[in-house]
Amino acid sequence: MRKTAVVTGASSGIGEATARRLAAEGYEVVAGARRRDRLDELASEVPSIRPATLDVTSQESVDALVSSLERCDVLVNNAGGAFGLESVAEGRLDDWQRMYDTNVLGSLRMTQALIPKLVESGDGVLVMLTSTAGLTSYEGGGGYCAAKHAQRSMTETLRLELVGQPVRIIEIAPGMVQSEGFALTRFRGDAAAAARVYEGVPGPLSPDDVADAIAWSVTRPAHVNIDRMVIRPRAQA
């Protein structure tokens, strides 16, 4: 039976690019997200991609997906994003909750549910999509930076706790990536505001740039753990 990779947030951006790349590497890919129409379109293009309706903020939804799997060799915890860029003083509590529930607790739900299958694989790989926002802080990014810091910390703890188990833990921390979510969620649909951020930054990363890094690190031999890759556009400080 072919190895199976589960990619969360595969309906656009980095997740979609990663699903395509892992399928090209020979994996059976389970592509999870809420926008089922997008996933169906993707699966109709790439036969080894199976669409799966998934909301990582719902334990029920996570459990339903996991119980449908015969095996899982790779889990890419990619679903997430920045929802709101207000100052800490003016940030909306519901935005902060959503950022935590998706980036941190969503990854936690998927990870807890799939650790047994990753161990069973004999060469399980867990990829956590964090961000350079998890390495620093910037004005207006309070909630997102805090969530990505938390996600990174959880990843490091997990690495310690799984030492001795056949599971590799890989953190991928991209800088600015020009994905759909970047303009739509982070800037509340304000494309002009998103464009202003790109001013002076020639060539933000593309989702494919990040998918390349994920595919490369996942396909190293079983004894080689790429702990963390930080990938920025050349011009990003």
Q: Which sequence positions are flagged as catalytic? A: 144
Bridge partners, residue 125, by sequence: 74, 168
Q: What token pair was written down for 187?
A: 């800037």
Backbone angles phi, psi at 28, to 5 degrees: -80, 125
**Least distance in angstroms from the C-beta of 131 to ligand NDP:** 3
Tell me the backbone φ, ψ of residue 205, rounded to 5 degrees: -65, 155
CB of 197 to ligand NDP, least distance (A): 9
15, 76 Cβ separation under 8 angstroms: yes
Pick the piece of the chain touching ligand NDP (CB under 6 A) from 21-29, 89-97, 99-107, 221-229. 99-107
Please select the residue that binds ligand NDP; options are 4, 8, 111, 217, rule is CB under 6 A. Answer: 8
Phi first, then psi: give them for residue 234, nearest 5 degrees.
-55, -35
Residue 48 makes contact with ligand NDP by CB under 6 A: no
Q: Which residue from 48, 53, 57, 219 is in contact with ligand NDP, where contact means CB under 6 A?
A: 57
The correct pick among 4, 6, 9, 117 for binding ligand NDP (CB under 6 A) is 9
The pairs formed by 91-94 with CB atoms below 8 angstroms and a separation of 24 or more are 91/142, 91/143
> Which residues contact ligand NDP by CB under 6 A?
8-15, 33-35, 54-57, 78-81, 102-103, 106, 129, 131, 174, 176-177, 179-182, 185, 207
